[in-house]
Structure 1
C-alpha cells in the first residue's frame, strides 16, 4: 500500500453573497459542498467537470488561497486546513500550484531568471550563485535554454510561459503539485509537449499531482484515478481505467459521450442533457443532477445520494446503484 500524501475529508467552501442592501439577507454560494478523496504518493488524481463545478476552488482551498468553511485537509497526516499564512509558509516548499493562465502567473516587470529563483530567495535557501544555477537547471529541464533567463514574460509564447511556471513550481523540490487546468490556454500541439513534461518530471522526482481539467482526454492520459464533480460534489471517483471502461453515473456517461473518437467513421451515441445547470446559490434538493437526469426517480428529488462502493476502487453517488 502506497503512502497517502493528501487526504481531503468532507471539504466545504461557501462564499457569502449579499443582495446589496444594508440589512439584506446573506446567501451562500456553495462552490465545494462536502467532498472527500485521497491521493497516494507518486500518483495523479484527475479532477474533472464542467466550468463552474468548483474544481478550481478545491485546488485553491487545499493550497490555502481560500479559507475552508468546514472539513479537514491533511498533508502527510498533518491537518493543514486551519493553518494561517505564517504557519502555512514552511509547507509551501512541499505543496506548489500551477495556474491556468501562464501569463498572469508571471510578474511582467521581472525577468524569467528572477521569477524561477524567487522561491529560493523567499525561503533563504542557498547562496545567490547556487540559486542562479538551480534556475538554469530547471529551465533546461523543461526544455528552455538558460540564456532565456534575462528575458521578460512578454517575449515568450504561451507554451514557453507555462514551461517557466512549471520550472518555478519545481524550485523548492515539492512533493505535491496542484495543476489548475495548466494546458487549457495552449494549442493542442503544445498541450502534448507540456503533458509529456509533466509525465517525465513525475517519473524523475516521484511527484504527486492533483490535475484539474475539463479536458477528458488529457485527464485520461495523465491520471491514475479520476473524480467527476458536478455542482460542488463528487458524483463518481475511482481508477481511471475502470471508470473510462465502465462509467456509471448518468452525468459521467454524458461527459464521456462527448469525447471525439479517434476513427472519424465511428459515430458515437451522444447523450444530450436537457435543462440548465442549477445555480450553486440555490441548488436543488436531493440529487443535484436530478433536474437534468434521464433516469430521474422520486427519491432523487428528496435524498442526496452518498458515494457507495461498486468495485474495489470505484465509487458512485447515484440512487440507481443502491
Structure 2
C-alpha cells in the first residue's frame, strides 16, 4: 500500500530539514511527504526521491487540528504516518508502520526517544541516536510483541502515530474546535475509542525527538489549556489534562469555582522558572514538577 508522511510546521526550519534527511535514509521510501505549512513562506528543503507537497495554510490563527486535517485530506497515500516537525524517523520507521497497517486497521503509536541539545550538530548518526536517546519517563515503553494493546485512550499522542487514511477520514479527523495548545490529542483518542477502532502500541516505528526548550506543565499555554479542558468537559462530560490542572491549582494559578476553571493570577517569572526545561534535560517532565508541588502543599497549607 502507498504511504504518506504528514507533518505540520511553523518555523523550526532546521528540525524539518533533519526530518527530510531522515526520510531520505528510509529502508522503505514513502510515496510522499505532505507538510501543513502554518506560515506564509514555504520551506527550502533537501532534494528527495519522493515528492514533497507543501500545503500553505497562512501565518496566523491556524489551529493544529485544522492543519493536521488539511494534511490528511491532501495526502494521496492509503496509509498516513504522522510525525511532528521536531522528530527524525529511524530508517525502519516507514517499513515498520507500513507492515503493521497492511495487517491491521488500527491506530498505531510508535516509539519515541529524546535527544539532548546538540545531538544533531554533526549530522544524523542513527546508531548514536539509538544509544543516547532517552525514553520519556511518563510514556509507555515499547511492547514485547510487534503490537501491544493500549487500553487508555488518554495515552494517544500525535507526535508519532499512524492510521489508514480511509479510517481517519471516516471518523472525521481531529476536532477543529480546540484552539491553541492542549486537549485535541486526548479528544482524538476518545473519538477513536468511541468509534471502536483498536489502539496499538507499535514496537519500532521509532522517532528521535530533537531538543528544543519547553515548559511542563505548559504554563505558557495556560489560557488555551483552560479553554480546551472546558471544551472537552462540555463534549465528553469531564475535564481532561487533569495533571496539568492539578499543577496549576497547586501553583495558585487556577481555581475551580462553581464547576468552572478560573485563572486567578497571571503567570510569573517564578512559574516559568519552575516549569522550564533545562538544557541538560532531553525532555521536560510534568510529573517531576507535580511531585515537587505536592510535596510543598502540606507546608503551604500549614503556614
TM over 0.5: no
Query: Structure 1-normalised TM-score?
Result: 0.25
Structure showing greater radius of gyration is 1
Name the one with the larger strand percent. 1
Query: Structure 2-normalised TM-score?
Result: 0.26
